[in-house]
Amino acid sequence: MSQSFETKAVHFAIDQASINRSKTTPIYQTSVFSFKTLEELESHYTGELPYLYTRNGNPNTDELGQAVALLENAEAGVASSSGLSAIMAGILAVCKNGDHIIASEDVYGGTYHFLEQQLKEIGIKVTFVDFTYPEQIEAAITPNTKLLYSETITNPFLCVESLETLVTLAKKHNLTSMVDNTFATPYLLRPLEKGIDIVIHSATKYIGGHSDVTAGVVVGSKKWVELAKQKVVTWGANVSPFEAWLACRGLKTMALRMRQQCENAEKLAAFLQEHPAVEKVFYPTSVSEKGNGAMVSVELKPEIDMSLFFANLSWIAIVPSLAGVETTVSYPLATSHRALPKEVRKKLGITSHLVRISVGIEDFSDIENAFQQALKLAEK
């Protein structure tokens, strides 16, 4: 039966036949699964019994991977311990020593560090370019290029990448395309439907949605996901059953949360756009008919005292992450993009007056009043 996103987000549970008929999937908080006979043990290796050791697979972790795959309209999905481990598994499913990646320069700071430093240590080279210019991407392609990597809505400047351009270039040069869809979520965008090969999520963010879990997911074709799963298993990057269970519980309300958060974010962007203390607002347009995301970044004017601004945000907390139901703020210069070389931060525009806002589900008037107060008290 064909179902809407909102319905699938609630009814994704794996059918676990049980005499107890639990309405929700139980938490299989176990490191191993037991067998009564050697023949029964052997049946695991022949594919008749699915579970042996939780690092290799578990009903809760499988449910998370399959749930996100369902919402992304993907063939398969595998859950991992974090967004970065999902990125690692997805990239290593495609690339090996001696290969080359072209990545968008406007990506999450942790991703930038992983691509620039960690992959270099295992012999994978990465070139960063401005993905808003397709000619720069094409000019960077070399004989050993294997992968084009970006984010559907970039972090922190919220640029919406042209997935169509990415797919066209990948097919033209026989490359694999991979995007991080964390900011958009499958509620707004489903990149696989546009021809992207592999999609990554930090399930820590909008999938879990309540700032109480750390997890990641890789979705795509069975071919790519099976290769990614091998990396998750072999590198020990599996997510715990309890955290997978929490992420699945949160996922059931993602449509409701995203609807309210996108609505609040659009209002906040409009309010800040007209505020005299704000130099520039970064907020995407035309992402989806359902909304444009729940993140807003702003460049405050030089005369704003940043310490006073952050200190006077009342109930709005300063955090290094995003996407909980509460409105929060982040300071990219000191957190997410702290490890970037100074010249890279300068080129990208990560300045001392850049603020990234994760908009929550609260009453908008309260959000507006909190920022109004902070900006007023921070004027020099």
Shared-domain flag, residues 74 and 148: yes
Instruction: pLDDT band for 15, please (50, 70, 90 cuts).
Output: low
Shared-domain flag, residues 123 and 242: yes
Q: In what side-by-side order are the strands of the sheet with 278-282?
A: 278-282, 295-300, 354-358, 328-330, 317-318
Q: Among 235, 251, 267, which residue terminates a domain? A: 251
Shared-domain flag, residues 191 and 76: yes
Q: Among 208, 234, 251, which residue terminates a domain? A: 251
- CATH number of the domain to which 280 belongs: 3.90.1150.10
Shared-domain flag, residues 242 and 283: no
Instruction: pLDDT band for 346, please (50, 70, 90 cuts).
Output: confident
pTM above 0.75, yes or no: yes
Shared-domain flag, residues 189 and 290: no
Q: What is the pLDDT of residues 259-275, one digit of tens each?
A: 999 999 999 999 999 99
Higher local confidence (pLDDT), 334 or 95 = 95
In 3D, which of 2, 3, 10 has the Cα closest to residue 254? Answer: 10
Shared-domain flag, residues 273 and 227: no
Do 218 and 228 touch, CB atoms closer than 8 A? Answer: yes
Shared-domain flag, residues 181 and 42: yes
Tell me the CA distances in angstroms from 310 to 232, 298, 317, 333, one per residue in order. 38, 13, 9, 14
Q: What are phi and psi of 121, to 5 degrees?
A: -70, -20
Task: Check whether 338 has a pLDDT greater than 60.
Answer: yes
- CATH number of the domain to which 229 belongs: 3.40.640.10
Shared-domain flag, residues 241 and 262: no
What is the reported pLDDT for 345? 82
Q: Domain total for the chain? A: 2
Q: Which residue range forms the structural domain that includes residue 148? A: 5-251
What is the reported pLDDT for 315? 95
